[in-house]
Every structure is written in structure tokens, then in C-alpha cells.
Structure 1
Amino acid sequence: MDLNLNGKRALVTGSSAGLGEAIAKLLAAEGATVVVHGRDANRTHTVAAAIKAAGGAAEVALGDLATDEGADAVAAQARKGGEIDILVNNAGYYHHLNWTTALPETWVETYQVNVVSAVRMIQRLVPNMRERGWGRVIQIGGGLAGQPVPMQPDYNASLAARHNLAVSLARDLKDTGVTSNVVAPGAILVPAVRQLLEAIAPKFGWGESWEEIEQGCVRDLVPNDVGRLGRPDEIAGAVAYLSSPFADYISGATIRVDGGTIRSAF
């Protein structure tokens, strides 16, 4: 299916690895020129080179979005080849902390990276989308926004903020041709997740093979209706659809890609 992304320019924040890398590669495969963003120059250029080797168009923007100066630099680099049509706010991280160990300064840091970084890029790139009458803003959220767990309280709350700001932005973009939506992944099998699960498998008695570990994880930690972890390309597919003209009538929505982890009708 041709998603009609030829001629579009997309910035995917935090795309030097993991979900962001998968999103950047699929958008490029669909014809968009993708600006690969990261803080590590080597990893970021490696992803861009892989896109080009596969026949896609890629550029690079380096900088730390947790600061105004870094966001200014990233926006300037992203615009060198033309204005951005599609902004995917994917950059973010979490700590393995709890209500005792997640101190106030950790909360501030988490919000800077996971929430305010997205606000910075929205304020720098969306005004031009408004002027041109078309654009896409997509936040990468998560099920913990609505169904938080005891662990990682700062991360849970930052995801809720991402979801909330996306809907507020959608209301503000009424009648502009620019949409704002959320893709909410469940537990996704990126390299860091696999390493973590392999490390904790002996504690839970999940076995030694990856198949046993994945089944044990889904049974004990992240139950869902599909019976496995998600794959990065499945998140990228949802983002690519929302980025396309086929999604013109979708705004203020959350697309859950979690195998049924979040068990809610609405």
C-alpha cells in the first residue's frame, strides 16, 4: 500500500536506536525524507546510512532536546533541507525506580526529557505546518499513561502528560489541516528489553531459551491477548499510517499497539 509520503519531510526524535530507528526506516521506505535525530553522532549517522543504503532519503540532526539550546540546534538542522511536515516525538527514557527512589529531581529530569522536549519541538516546528495547511504531530505514548503501575511513577506520569498534551494540541489545531495523535505501544522487543528480560529470567524461572523467556514475561509481567511482545515494526506501521493522508480524519486519538494489554473498550 502506497501511503503517499513521497515529498514529505519527517523528523523522528530519538531515532538513533530502538522504536525511533524502526519508525525512521519505515517512513523512509514509504518515500519520506527522514531526519534522524540523536545525541550520539556515530549511532545517528549509522541509522541514516542504513536508510540511504536501502534506497531512502535521510538527513541527521544532533542535539539534546532536554535543553532550549539543544532544541534550537535540532530544529535548525532539521530545516536545512526544507520545512518539516511530520513530527514524531519519540525521544524519552525511564529509570527502574519506585516511589522511594524516584526523588523529586528525578521527576524533573524525566519531565524535561519525556514531556518538555516534545513541547519544544512542537513550538518550533508546528507553526510552519499551520501556515502551510498540512502536518502531522505524533506522540509515542504508552498504556501506563492510563493504567499506571507501582514502579516508575515518574515515567507513568510523563506518559500521561504526553497523551494529554496531544489531545490539547489537536483541539488547538482545529481547521488547520494539521493533526495531533498518540501511538501507545505495549511492551516492545527492542534490544534493551531483551537484555533486561534475559538478565532477570533466572529470578522468575522462565527457562534459558528466548522463546521460554518471552512466554514467561508475557505470562507473569505483561499479559496480553496476542501472547507475545510487540515488534518495533508494528509500532512503526501505526506511525506511518497516522503520518499519511489516509489519516486526515484522525486527530486527538490514541492508537494502542499493545496486543490487548490495556483492557478497556474506550
Structure 2
Amino acid sequence: MDLQLSGRRALITGSTSGLGEATARLLAAEGAEVVIHGRDSRRAQAVADSIIENGGKAAVAAGDLGTDAGADRTAEQALAGGAVDILVNNAGAYEHLNWAEATADIWLNAYNVNVVSGVRMIQRLVPAMRERDYGRVITIGGGLATQPFDSHPHYNASLAARHNLAVSLARDLAGTHVTSNVVAPGAILVPAVQDFLTELAPERGWGRAWAEIEHNSVREIVPNDRIRYGRPEEIAGAVAYLCGPHAEYISGATIRVDGGTVRGAF
């Protein structure tokens, strides 16, 4: 299936690793020129170089989206190569803290990093999309927005806000050819998650081999129909579909990519 992304330019925030990097690589493979973003320009350049070596088109935009100045720099660099047709708001931060540990200052920082950072990029890039009457905004949310754990409440709440702002933006863009949607991953296997689960496995009795640990930890923590964790490439696939013209009639939607997760209790 041709997603018809050739000639489009996409900025993927937080794309030097994990879900963001996987998304950038898939969009580039589908013909889009991707702008790799991160706070570390060298890491961003390394991902961009790898994409170019594999026949794709890539540029770099570095900046801390937690500040207005950093967002300005990021937008300026992203636009240097041409108009941005696709904005994937992926950048964010996560701390595993309980209610007692998550102070008010930590809540405020989580909201700034996970919510306002995306707003900054929307305000800098979406007006031009509206003017050209074409664009795609995809916000990476998560299942914890609607099925929160009892821990890391600040992060759960920030995800809920990401979902909410994406729908509000879709309503504001009504009547245009610019859409706003959410891709909500479930538990996704990235190296940090695998390391954490492997370390936790002995005390939880999940086994020693990774196949055992994955199977048993999924059943205990995030029961889902696939009985496994998702992979970054599976999130990227949902994002890529929403970026193209085949998804023109999808707006204000939340696309769950969670294996059919029904509950969570960590």
C-alpha cells in the first residue's frame, strides 16, 4: 500500500530513539523527508545520517521544547528546508514516582514537558498548515491517559491532557484539510523497559529467559489479547497511516495500539 507521503516533510519530536526514531525511519521509507529532533544535535544527526545512508531524506532540528526559545530554534531549523506538512508530537519525559514522591513541582514540570511542549510546536507550525490547507498533526498519547496506574500520577494526567488537546485542535481545524489525531500505545518494548522487567523478574517469579519474562509480566501487568508487548515499529505504522491522504476522514480520533489491553495494575 502506497501511503503517498513522497514530497511531504515531517517533523518528529523526540526522534533520536524509541518510538520517535522508529516513526521517522518508517516515514522516510515511505518517501517523506523527515526532520529528526532531539536536545542533543549529535544524536539527532547520527539518526539522520543513518536514514540518508539507507536512501531516505532527513534533516536535523535541535532544541529543548520545554522552553519557548528552544521551540523557536526547533521550528526555525525544521522550516529551513521547506514547509512542514506533518507534525508528530512525540517528545516527552517519564518518571516512575508514586503519589508521595511526585511533588507539585514535579507535576508542573511534567505538564510543561509532556503537554506544553507539544502546544508550542502546534502554535509554531499549524497556522501555516491551515494557510496551505493541508497538514497532519499526530500526538503520541498512551493507554494510561484513560486507564491510569496508581503510580506516576503526574505522567498519567499529562497523557490525558495530550489526548484532550489533540481533540480540541481537531475541532478548531474543522472545515480544513488539516487533521489532528492521537496514537495511544500500550506497553511498548524498548530497551529501558526490557532492562527494567528483567531486573524485576526474580522477585516477581517471571522466569529467567526473556520469552518467559515477557509472557508472565504481560499477564500480570498489562493483560492484552496478544499476550506480549508492542514494538516501536507497530506504533510507527499507525502514525504513518494517519499521515497520508487515506486517513483524510479521520480526525479527533484516538487510535489504540495496545494489543487489546483491558486493564492495568502495576
TM beyond 0.5: yes
Corresponding residue number in structure 2 for 1:78: 78
Corresponding residue number in structure 2 for 1:198: 198
CA distance in 1 between partners of 2:262 and 2:121 (Å):
29
CA distance in 2 between partners of 1:95 and 1:63 (Å):
21
Deviation at 1:262, TM superposition (A): 3.8
Equivalent residues of 1:86, 1:137 under 8 A apart = yes
Any idea what the Cα deviations from partners look like across 1:50-109, whole Å, max 9, x if unmatched? 111111000000010000000000000000000100000000111110110000000011
Q: 1:10 to 1:262 in 2, by over 3 A?
A: farther
* Paired residue secondary structure (1:219): helix
- Structure 1 runs not aligned, ≥5 long: none
* Paired residue secondary structure (1:16): coil
Corresponding residue number in structure 2 for 1:213: 213
Corresponding residue number in structure 1 for 2:68: 68
Provide the aligned length of Structure 1 versus Structure 2: 263
Any idea what the Cα deviations from partners look like across 1:153-197, whole Å, max 9, x if unmatched? 000000000000000000000111100000000000111111111
Q: Equivalences for 1:119-134 in 2 at 5 Å?
A: 119-134=119-134
Corresponding residue number in structure 1 for 2:250: 250
* Percent of aligned pairs with the same amino acid: 68
**Runs in 1 of length 4+ with deviation above 3 angstroms?**
none
If the length of structure 1 is used for normalisation, what is the TM-score? 0.98
Does 2:88 correspond to 1:88? yes
Does 2:69 correspond to 1:56? no
Equivalent residues of 2:224, 2:260 under 8 A apart = yes
CA distance in 2 between partners of 1:254 and 1:76 (Å):
29
CA distance in 2 between partners of 1:2 and 1:125 (Å):
26
If the length of structure 2 is used for normalisation, what is the TM-score? 0.98
2:252 partner letter:
G
CA distance in 1 between partners of 2:202 and 2:129 (Å):
50
Deviation at 1:219, TM superposition (A): 1.1
- Structure 2 runs not aligned, ≥5 long: none
Deviation at 1:46, TM superposition (A): 1.4
Across the aligned residues of Structure 1 and Structure 2, the Cα RMSD in angstroms comes to 0.8
Q: Equivalences for 1:95-114 in 2 at 5 Å?
A: 95-114=95-114
Deviation at 1:120, TM superposition (A): 0.1
Equivalent residues of 2:181, 2:254 under 8 A apart = yes
1:101 partner letter:
E
* Paired residue secondary structure (2:184): strand
